[in-house]
Amino acid sequence: MSTFVLLTLTGFGLGALYFLIASGLALIFGLMDVLNFAHGAFLTVSAYAAWHTATTVGGVNGLILAVLTGAAVGTVLAVIVERLLIRRLYGRPKEQILVTVGLSLTIPALVQAYWGPDSRPFPVPSALSGTVPVLGANVPVNRFVLIVAAVLVLIGVRLFLDRTRYGLIVRAGVEDRHMVTALGIDVTRAFTLIFALGGALAGLAGVLGGLYFGSLSPHQGTALLIFAFVVVIIGGMHSITGVALSALTVGLVQQYANYYVAGGFGDFAVVILLAVVVLARPTPGRRSPASLLRDLLAPRRAVATTGGQP
Amino acid sequence: MTTATTATTAGPADPAGAPAGGGDGGGPPTGAPTGLAGLGHRLGRRRGWIAPAAVLLILLTLPYSALSIPLLLDGPVNSAGSLQLFALCLLFGGLALSYDLLFGRTGLLSFGHALYIAGGAYGTQLAMSEWGMTLVPAALTVVVLGSVAACLLGAISLRTLALGGVGFAMVTLAFAQAGSIWVQRNPGGLTGGEEGLPLLAEAIPDAFIGVNNTVNLYWLALGYLVLTAAVVWTAAASPAGKVWQAVRDNEQRVSVLGRDPFRHKLGVFVLASALALLGGVVYLVVTAGVTPHASTPEFTLTLLVMVVLGGAGTRWGPVIGGVLFIYLDHRLGALGVSDAVESLPHALSAPLAEPLVVLGILFVLAVYLVPGGLAQAGWRPARRSKRAAAATASGPEAGNTAKGSTR
């Protein structure tokens, strides 16, 4: 039982980390149709900036400052990238992907050039490095930090999208960008805003990822990005709540599979989950397995009824 | 060397490759060749095989030249070091061509190509060490089994196209990542984990072993490139190739016209994967082993960079991109540790020592400055600008209708 509780809570923590990464990705993709490959690079840079702050200041204050620094660095980086590179390529999604791919290769290499390829320990304040007993399980404290952060982000993003004027514009832009432009609203400003928000979330995820793993390395962000992609595909790209649920599912599946099946199987379980979801999802023009099953059963029933009538 | 001879005959016998080629697969829709256009058509056909023949001739004579090019190469052209570099360049030219079959020709953005390259390399090595096969049977087994796997995984990946091309990209990425993790975890001590696997010397012909035999690696890589080029160019010019191009340009219209886009995309995916598997075998022999790096999604991204740098969907672009990228990667690596760079301040010398920084920046610049890739840079500017104008006139509208109706 205690193992199960531990796995569930750490799965929640992992899901929270995935959600923090995937939410920024899904927001940017939902509005702008840009698959932001540089998201992982934002994560890495923010994590390094945060690490620098946390090591110089130290303690819980250092961590809070590091979170702020990370989010700020992510925001600034995202805005620079959007203004300088992405903006020129609107309406050309393929080129936008290519540019972000280029950045995703360049930025980690740059980080590696300055800070070396080896992973570094992330300073975790002693208040957060212990464990808490929950129902007989010793759960690391930092998992709760991640869960709380993810819930706050989820509520914040939902409030922003549902209650503010900018959120309205963003939602309308996701729905039909051209109509919003036609109504005289400057969508490009919303684009920058969403990119900034995505960058801030990436920054936050970078810092909390450092806290979660206790270390950071130049290619950590890119490795995490792939799981964020999986989360975004499973959750659908246009609903932040869907992304949250799918992040949770992926985190739990990974933890359970790692323990109950075999160590290291979790990553496969996630990919298998992805394949199952992809195959089961009804797509336009093709029938889902459920409807196929219905159709297979329906004729028989029809035959049975017609056979029974005369 | 049978591959080389078949390819040289396939080059000239590749009739429709000329109009589609001569630079690009995305050329203007050629109607019936009449009058002047027909003359150009015939000329183009003849030109179509002169260039490959000339390039092949140069590549065939390269190992016999003792020419020394001071700045560009470390030793003479036929020294072992240079030939090894050339072999790697040619190999990646071929791999980039196979990737371009998906990306440039059919418009499928796959991030899982490395899965098949690593599959070819690891699979062959394991077939040789575990099942005691020799190189050729092992390679054939792996290509056949891998193609079956590609058929299955491709079918799953292509199901996601309801999300747009992005779904396909992400799912192939996830599969490749799973393969990469599997390789790095070293299951049962099979894959050698982080260290990778060294080439099993007993199972491969003696001709590929030793520094003295580097020239044979060069021939092997050249054979692979020629074979891939022949397959890709012939396939792109075939009726199926026309459908691929049509799928790239307007998939809906293809299905309205009664062709099944799914089947064609699956076909091109399996063909490209088979070429990648074969490339993996060559990679294993040329680099005398395989490391997990070949399985990472980053490896696929470098292929993408090569294709885009050279020119996606063009005849020569992927080859140029692949050769140039690998050459620069090696030379920049050498330059990065040279004294000239070492003497610079750390802030400048550190990024220069990472070839990927320089190449990545070059790539991002190339996306803006030479959108068609190097193969089209300064190449018939009038035609290109005309096409660009046509693209801007019709592009967004076509995109909108396609998007509007999928929603």
Instruction: Supply the CATH number for residue B290's domain.
Output: 1.10.3470
Amino acid at B364: V
Contacts B184 to A, Cβ<8 Å: none
Please tell me the least confidently modeled range out of A269-273, B152-156, B335-339, B370-374: B335-339
Q: How far is A289 from chain B (nearest CA, A)?
A: 13
Contacts A110 to B, Cβ<8 Å: 351, 354, 357
Interval B25-34 mean pLDDT: 40
Which contacts (CB < 8 Å, 24+ apart) does range B24-32 have?
B24/B311, B24/B313, B24/B314, B24/B315, B24/B372, B24/B375, B24/B376, B25/B104, B25/B105, B25/B236, B25/B245, B25/B313, B25/B314, B25/B315, B26/B245, B26/B249, B26/B313, B26/B387, B28/B383, B28/B387
Asked if pLDDT for residue B406 goes beyond 60, the answer is no
Q: Which residue of chain B has the CA closest to A282? A: B162
Size of interface A-B (CB pairs under 8 A): 117
Specify the pLDDT at position A258: 85
- Is the minimum CB–CB distance between A18 and chain B shorter than 8 Å? no
> Rg of chain B over CA atoms, in angstroms?
22
Residues B135 and B180: their CA atoms lie apart, in Å, by 24
Asked if pLDDT for residue A54 goes beyond 60, the answer is yes
Amino acid at A259: Y
Name the more confident of B43 and B251. B251
Contact yes or no for B354 and A113 at CB 8 A = yes
Interval B9-15 mean pLDDT: 38
Specify the pLDDT at position A293: 63
Contact yes or no for A109 and B356 at CB 8 A = yes
Q: Given B178, B357, B371, which is nearest A271 (Cβ)?
A: B178
Specify the pLDDT at position B26: 40
Most confident of A145-149, B273-277, B360-364, B376-380: B273-277
Q: How far is B201 from chain A (nearest CA, A)?
A: 31
B198: in domain: yes
Asked if pLDDT for residue A114 goes beyond 60, the answer is yes
B300: in domain: yes
Interval A86-90 mean pLDDT: 81
Interval B331-353 mean pLDDT: 72
Q: Given B169, B357, B406, which is nearest A110 (Cβ)?
A: B357
The residue ranges of every structural domain in chain A are 2-261
Contact yes or no for A229 and B367 at CB 8 A = no
Cβ atoms of B273 and B51 closer than 8 Å: no
Q: Given B166, B304, B351, which is nearest A110 (Cβ)?
A: B351
- Give the right CATH number for A2-261 from 3.30.420, 1.10.3470, 3.30.70, 2.60.40: 1.10.3470
Using CB atoms within 10 Å of the CB of residue B119, give its burial: 0 to 12 exposed, 13 to 18 middle, 19+ buried: buried
Q: How far is A80 from chain B (nearest CA, A)?
A: 15
Name the more confident of A40 and B21. A40
B140: in domain: yes
Asked if pLDDT for residue B234 goes beyond 80, the answer is yes
Interface of A with B in 144-203 (CB under 8 A): 178
Interval B244-266 mean pLDDT: 86
Q: Given A35, A270, A274, which is nearest B171 (Cβ)?
A: A274
Q: Which residue of chain B has the CA closest to A226? A: B174
| pLDDT per position as a tens digit, B127-167 | 888 888 888 888 899 999 999 999 988 888 887 655 566 77
Q: Given B160, B178, B363, which is nearest A278 (Cβ)?
A: B160
Interval B93-113 mean pLDDT: 90
Contact yes or no for A267 and B178 at CB 8 A = yes
Specify the pLDDT at position B155: 87
Q: What is the pTM of this model?
A: 0.79
- Is the minimum CB–CB distance between A277 and chain B shorter than 8 Å? no
Q: Given B174, B363, B371, which is nearest A274 (Cβ)?
A: B174
Q: How far is A61 from chain B (nearest CA, A)?
A: 30
Residues A105 and B301: their CA atoms lie apart, in Å, by 8
Residues B169 and B226: their CA atoms lie apart, in Å, by 28
B49: in domain: no
- Is the minimum CB–CB distance between A302 and chain B shorter than 8 Å? no
Contact yes or no for A233 and B350 at CB 8 A = no
Q: Which residue of chain B has the CA closest to A222? A: B298
Interval A40-59 mean pLDDT: 87
Q: Which residue of chain A has the CA closest to B153? A: A275
pLDDT band at residue A300 using 50, 70 and 90 as cut-offs: low
Specify the pLDDT at position B394: 43
Range of the domain at B291: 77-392
Cβ atoms of B116 and B106 closer than 8 Å: no
Q: Given A88, A101, A226, which is nearest B174 (Cβ)?
A: A226
Name the more confident of B6 and A26. A26
Specify the pLDDT at position A186: 83
Name the more confident of A222 and A153. A153
Half-sphere exposure of A256 (CA within 13 A, CB side): 15
B402: in domain: no
- Is the minimum CB–CB distance between A57 and chain B shorter than 8 Å? no
| pLDDT per position as a tens digit, A124-141 | 777 777 777 777 777 788
Contacts B406 to A, Cβ<8 Å: 284
Q: Given B164, B177, B395, which is nearest A226 (Cβ)?
A: B177
CA angle, B257 as apex, B252 and B262 as ends, to 5°?
55
- Interface mutation target, options A37, A106, A177, chain B, most CBs of B under 10 Å: A106
Number of domains in chain B: 1
Please tell me the least confidently modeled range out of B141-155, B228-242, B329-343: B329-343
CA angle, B116 as apex, B113 and B120 as ends, to 5°?
145
B337: in domain: yes
- Is the minimum CB–CB distance between A287 and chain B shorter than 8 Å? no
- Is the minimum CB–CB distance between A292 and chain B shorter than 8 Å? no
| pLDDT per position as a tens digit, A198-218 | 899 999 998 888 888 888 888
Name the more confident of B90 and A93. B90
Structure tokens at B105: 């020709």
B277: in domain: yes
**What is the CA B239 to chain-centroid distance, rounded?**
22
CA distances B241 to A140, B47, B238, Å, are 56, 21, 5
For A154-178, what is the HEC assignment? Answer: HHHHHHHHHHCHHHHHHHHHHHCHH
User: By three-state DSSP, how is residue A137 classified?
Assistant: strand
Specify the pLDDT at position A73: 93
Close Cβ partners of B300 (under 8 Å, ≥ 6 residues apart):
B99, B110, B111, B112, B113, B114, B176
ipTM value greater than 0.85 = no
Cβ atoms of A43 and A173 closer than 8 Å: no
Using CB atoms within 10 Å of the CB of residue A141, give its burial: 0 to 12 exposed, 13 to 18 middle, 19+ buried: middle
Contact yes or no for A109 and B308 at CB 8 A = no
